[in-house]
């Protein structure tokens, strides 16, 4: 998966620690602070998903926070033009 720049990003996590940085959009969902990130599957991953492969989520550490996994909006055709 490739990290996307999410629309309305409010900050970038990890950049000050020397990582590429993960753009996040801070939101509130049902009164709870949350962060939203955007990921784009590679062509090979899209083919695997279409063939029925599962999506894996890896949480670093030994405690699992509550998470949600969902699908974002379909990209507009002009977003793919060169």
pTM of the model: 0.76
Write out the residue range of the structural domain in which residue 29 sits.
Answer: 2-80
Neighbouring C-beta atoms of residue 24, cutoff 10 Å? 19
| CB contact set of 5 (below 8 Å; sequence gap of 6+) | 23, 38
Q: Which residues of the chain have pLDDT under 70?
A: 77-82
* Burial class of 4 by CB neighbour count within 10 A (0 to 12, 13 to 18, 19+): middle
Tell me what pLDDT residue 65 has. Answer: 85
Tally the domains of the chain: 1
Tell me what pLDDT residue 64 has. Answer: 84
């Amino acid at each position: 998966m490739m990290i996307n720049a999410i629309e309305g990003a409010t900050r970038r996590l990890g950049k000050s620690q020397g990582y590429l940085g993960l753009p996040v959009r801070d939101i509130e969902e049902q009164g709870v602070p949350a962060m939203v990130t955007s990921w784009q599957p590679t062509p090979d991953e899209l083919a695997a998903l279409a063939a029925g492969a599962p999506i894996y989520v890896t949480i670093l550490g030994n405690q699992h926070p509550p998470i949600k996994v969902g699908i974002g909006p379909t990209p507009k055709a002009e977003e793919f033009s060169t």
